[in-house]
């Protein structure tokens, strides 16, 4: 399988304060065609900034300071806006949490979809309208013909997210990044959207990155998982390994802190303290101040992401066996 996206050593800092702590620090991962990579993290983990980095849409306050981002083998980090634009929309597309703020409120749904088809797909006017109709059918919008003439405010939240997905898929991208696509939706609508994304992804062999704070969503849809904590990769593994044998202490407490809907009730695990402030990250392991296994060595230098098995990696001195687990 070829990598649709390869990211290596990505480091993002505040443009105005390159000497301060990094917002993303030495992040490496790849996504292959036909694969769903779930990225989990709490607020402040940098998961949304990671998505914007890949799309070349970082706000001016943030700058990529190191690392590579390759889309379909084409190196993009450090290149011009035009270089990103050649890929954005065509090879890679993104959907966001709140469809109402990403759709143009004064443009009809059909016009917003055909815009992509005509500019990106080079279709003529009537071809584009026909294709837009098919796309709405594909994302299972009822009576698609009349919806083409609707404005976003005339649609429900779930319907709007379907329109966003239709726009994202319009140019047949190879990579789809979905940032909390179902978080703002009710649980029954969330289930519909997740099923739709999974089906579309399977049919077309898309590479998909799904960003979420919800481990349940990960369990439903991801093939592989990357856990981010405070801008660093804590752990990455196939989805079953994350749930069955989490190696990083953060992943372990994260799984224990969520009420399990399918198991008898037990007291929830808590993590003391809060996520560190982005500008004042601890110098060593960023989780160390909250970690119950913390040792002086953890606070000196950030632990490297080491392979525990072929496709399971963790950035923790315990997980990699460099420190003995205390009894």
Cα atoms in the 13 Å half-sphere on the side-chain side of 108 = 12
Closer by beta carbon to another protein, 59 or else 273? 273
**Which residue in the set 240, 283, 304, 309 belongs to the binding site for another protein (CB under 8 A)?**
240
The pair of structure tokens assigned to 112 is: 């917003």
Least distance from another protein to the Cβ atom of residue 258, Å: 6
- The smaller minimum CB distance to another protein, of residues 63 and 183, is found at 183
Q: How far apart are the first and last CA of the chain?
A: 42
Residue number with CB closer to another protein (273 or 326) = 273
* Site residue total, another protein (CB under 8 A): 43
- CA dihedral over 230, 231, 235, 238, signed as positive or negative: positive
Q: Which CB atom, from 55 or from 159, has the smaller least distance to another protein?
A: 159
Neighbours of 309 (CB within 10 A): 11
Show contacts with another protein in window 90-129 (CB under 8 A).
none
Residue 48 or 192: which CB sits closer to another protein?
192
User: Any contact of residue 151 with another protein (CB under 8 A)?
Assistant: no
Q: Which stretch binds another protein (CB under 8 A): 65-73, 99-107, 116-124, 259-267?
A: 259-267
- 121/157 with CB nearer another protein: 157
Residues numbered 160-189 forming contacts with another protein, rule: CB under 8 A: 186-189
Residues 204-223 that bind another protein (CB under 8 A): 213-217, 219-220, 222
CA distance 11 to 25: 5
> Which of the ranges 27-35, 54-62, 104-112, 239-247 carries the binding residues for another protein, by CB under 8 A?
239-247
Q: How far is the CB of 141 from another protein (least distance, A)?
A: 12
- Give the whole-angstrom CA distance, residue 46 versus residue 280: 14
* Binding of residue 306 to another protein (CB under 8 A): no
CB of 29 to another protein, least distance (A): 19
**Structural tokens at position 27:** 């992040």
Instruction: Tell me which long-range contacts 47-52 makes (C-beta under 8 A, separation of at least 24).
Output: 47/179, 47/211, 47/228, 48/179, 48/211, 49/12, 49/23, 49/24, 50/10, 50/24, 50/211, 50/228, 51/94, 51/177, 51/179, 51/209, 51/211
x/- track of binding to another protein for residues 262-301 (CB under 8 A): xx-x-xxxxx--xx--------------------------
The nearest distance, CB 171 to another protein, in angstroms, is 28
Greatest alpha-carbon pair distance for the chain in Å reads 70
Question: Does residue 191 touch another protein according to CB under 8 A?
Answer: yes
Residues 232-269 as b/e (b if ≥16 CB within 10 A, e otherwise) read bbbbbbbbebbeeebbbbbbbbbeeeeeeeeeeeeeee
DSSP 3-state assignment of 311?
Answer: coil
Facing residues of 216 across strands? none
> Contact residues for another protein (CB under 8 A)?
42-43, 142, 156, 158-159, 186-192, 194-195, 213-217, 219-220, 222, 239-240, 243, 253-254, 257-263, 265, 267-271, 274-275
């Amino acid at each position: 399988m070829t990598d649709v996206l390869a990211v290596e050593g990505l480091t993002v800092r505040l443009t105005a304060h390159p000497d301060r702590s990094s917002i993303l620090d030495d992040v490496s991962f790849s996504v292959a065609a036909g694969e769903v990579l779930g990225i989990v993290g709490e607020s402040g983990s940098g998961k949304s900034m990671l998505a914007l980095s890949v799309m070349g849409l970082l706000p001016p306050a943030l700058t990529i300071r190191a690392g590579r981002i390759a889309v379909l083998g084409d190196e993009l980090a450090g290149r011009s806006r035009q270089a990103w634009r050649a890929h954005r929309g065509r090879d890679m597309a993104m959907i966001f949490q709140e469809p109402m703020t990403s759709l143009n409120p004064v443009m009809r749904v059909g016009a917003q979809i055909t815009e992509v088809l005509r500019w990106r797909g080079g279709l003529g006017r009537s071809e584009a309208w026909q294709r837009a109709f098919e796309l709405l059918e594909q994302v299972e919008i009822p009576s698609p013909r009349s919806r083409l003439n609707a404005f976003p405010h005339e649609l429900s939240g779930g319907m709007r997210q379907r329109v966003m997905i239709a726009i994202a898929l319009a140019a047949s991208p190879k990579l789809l990044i979905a940032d909390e696509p179902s978080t703002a939706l009710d649980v029954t609508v969330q289930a519909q959207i997740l099923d739709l994304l999974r089906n579309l992804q399977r049919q077309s062999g898309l590479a998909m990155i799904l960003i979420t704070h919800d481990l349940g969503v990960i369990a439903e849809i991801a093939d592989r998982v990357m856990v981010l904590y405070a801008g660093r990769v804590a752990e990455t593994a196939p989805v079953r390994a994350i749930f069955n044998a989490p190696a990083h202490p953060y992943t372990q407490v994260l799984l224990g802190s969520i009420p399990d809907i399918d198991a008898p009730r037990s007291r929830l695990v808590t993590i003391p303290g809060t996520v560190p402030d982005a500008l004042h990250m601890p110098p060593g392991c960023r989780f160390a101040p909250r970690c119950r296994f913390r040792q002086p060595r953890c606070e000196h230098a950030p632990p490297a992401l080491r392979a525990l098995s072929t496709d399971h990696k963790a950035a923790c001195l315990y997980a990699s066996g460099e420190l003995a687990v205390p009894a």
